[in-house]
Amino acid sequence: MPLRVESDIFVVRQRGREVAAALGLEHQDQIRIATALSEMGRQLLAGAGGAEVTFAAATEAGQRLLCIELSSTTPVARDRFTPGGPAAVARLVDSLEISTAGPVTVVRMSRRLPPNAGPLTREGLAAIRAELAASAPTGPLDELAVQNQQLMAALEEVRSQRDELAVLNEELAETNRGVLALYGQLSEELEETNRGVVALYAELDEKSVQLRAASEAKSRFLANVSHELRAPVTAIIGLCRLLGDSASDPLTGEQAQQVGLVRSSAEDLLRLVNELLDLAKAEAGRIQPNWTEVDLRVVFGQLRGTLRALANRPGVELVVEEPPQPATIRTDEVLLAQILRNLLHNGLKFTERGDVRMRAQRRDGSWHLSVADTGAGIPPQLQERIFEEFYQLPGPARTAGTGLGLPYARRLVNLLGGALTLTSTPGEGSVFTVTLPVEPPAGAERAETCATEGGA
Ligand code: ADP
């Protein structure tokens, strides 16, 4: 299309809109194209006295475009364009380039076609061309009227957007007020909760002080009572022994049996009293380990000898394996023997058939001394409970003990800087493991001494 006189601008503008519509651009885009065209056309007309306008449909990098080229008939200096003009126009299209080739200045603009626009076939384009050729361009006045309508529509849209914006702003302000109120409420609640937590902690501290005092009182009470009980119970046992002695007056069969009953009950009582006293002493921190270099082979050998007499149940074997060399550990020999004897004793007591096996393994700087049996085992939910004072599993062997052996053993193992653990499968057996450091951690010996002194 030629652009020679002022009125051509209206025609170019109108054609631009029609081409954009024919290629499927939506209404807003049609106005953008028309406005960009009339603006650039106006500037070229003023700066170069005219131009040729070409519309083309193209595909670039898989993208379909409407390309518009305005080439001036005479050169035009860049500063002849209205300042800010091309920049403002560039916002209306996707790309805008101005180039000068020889005496000709070319303005190229393009706009992406929407994906739903029909395919750009040769026939389609020919049809569009024919349609445009057939329609006669209207006069400038009509185009002006169209432009006015578009302007009014644009104004209307701006107004409605402004109204929407005002509503949104109001909503935002409302939300902000809500958030502020919520924030205030939350901080108040947080403060309230904090006060509660602080009070709770104070109460907890107080309770733990009371608990410690109660635990100490209990240990003291147990120690005193068991100490006081030991003398009379020992006396009863002595008297029973005297009564049954061959040097005393002979007893009738009935009397001998009853004295025997009294003596065995008194011995049970003495065992309980002794165990209570041991536990109370351990809890009060009154047991001071005697740290020495201990040979585990010696300890195992002694236990093998002393417990052989207890392993008298047919079908149950006591196996004490030889510890691997070097079998040394720094610990308290007497306490360690006491712990292992207790575990072996339990193993023999609660195993009907199979074996009770003690073995020592050295791993990662620790000794793992385990006592495994093939007894009834302990259900998982009771595996911690049996370490509580006086707790015994229901069963026939119950009467044979006090329920104090394991808590005492665990206490002693802790005192030696180790841990006593249990794994057990009901019906298969149990494994009690004493894990002790080969060397007690630095300061353990001194710490124990201080604790003992403090406790005493
Ligand atoms: P006691 O043996 O004097 O009853 P313990 O504290 O040594 O007290 O053990 C507590 C309870 O744990 C025992 O009564 C028994 O029910 C259970 N128990 C301990 N050792 C074993 C074991 N090796 N196998 C099965 N049960 C065990």
Measured CA to CA, the distance from residue 68 to residue 121 in angstroms comes to 18
Residue nearest atom 8 in ligand 1 by C-alpha distance: 403
Asked whether residue 307 carries a pLDDT value surpassing 80, the answer given is: yes
pTM of the model: 0.54
Cβ burial of 437 (10 Å; 0-12, 13-18, 19+) is middle
- Of 167 and 286, more confident: 167
Q: Which of 57-71, 337-351, 396-410 has the lowest mean pLDDT?
A: 396-410
> Does the 153-285 domain belong in CATH 1.10.287.130?
yes
- Where residue 133 falls among pLDDT bands split at 50, 70, 90? confident
Q: Which of 146-150, 195-199, 348-352, 388-392 has the lowest mean pLDDT?
A: 146-150
Amino acid at 115: P
Residues at CB less than 6 angstroms from ligand 1: 346-347, 350, 373, 375-376, 378, 386, 392-393, 401-406, 430
Under 8 Å between Cβ of 30 and 21: yes
**Mean pLDDT, residues 198-215:** 93
| 373 Cα–ligand 1 center, Å | 12
CATH of 292-455, one of 3.30.565.10, 3.20.20.70, 3.40.50.2000, 3.30.1330.10: 3.30.565.10
Centroid of chain to Cα 212: 34
Measured CA to CA, the distance from residue 35 to residue 154 in angstroms comes to 12
Q: For position 161, what pLDDT does the model report?
A: 93
Under 8 Å between Cβ of 241 and 270: no
According to CATH, the superfamily of the domain at 2-137 is Histidine kinase-like ATPase, C-terminal domain (3.30.565.10)
Q: DSSP for 166-211?
A: HHHHHHHHHHHHHHHHHHHHHHHHHHHHHHHHHHHHHHHHHHHHHH
Amino acid at 253: G
Asked whether residue 354 carries a pLDDT value surpassing 50, the answer given is: yes
Residue nearest atom 2 in ligand 1 by C-alpha distance: 401
Q: Where are the domains of the chain?
A: 2-137, 153-285, 292-455
Q: For position 143, what pLDDT does the model report?
A: 76
**Mean pLDDT, residues 96-125:** 85
Q: Give me the percent of the chain exceeding a pLDDT of 90.
A: 53
- Mean residue pLDDT of the chain comes to 88
| 360 Cα–ligand 1 center, Å | 22
Q: For position 456, what pLDDT does the model report?
A: 30
**Mean pLDDT, residues 290-300:** 95
Measured CA to CA, the distance from residue 248 to residue 240 in angstroms comes to 11
- Comparing 2-137 with 153-285, is the CATH topology the same? no
Q: For position 453, what pLDDT does the model report?
A: 40
Q: Which residues contact 8 (CB under 8 A, 6 or more apart)?
A: 1, 2, 41, 45
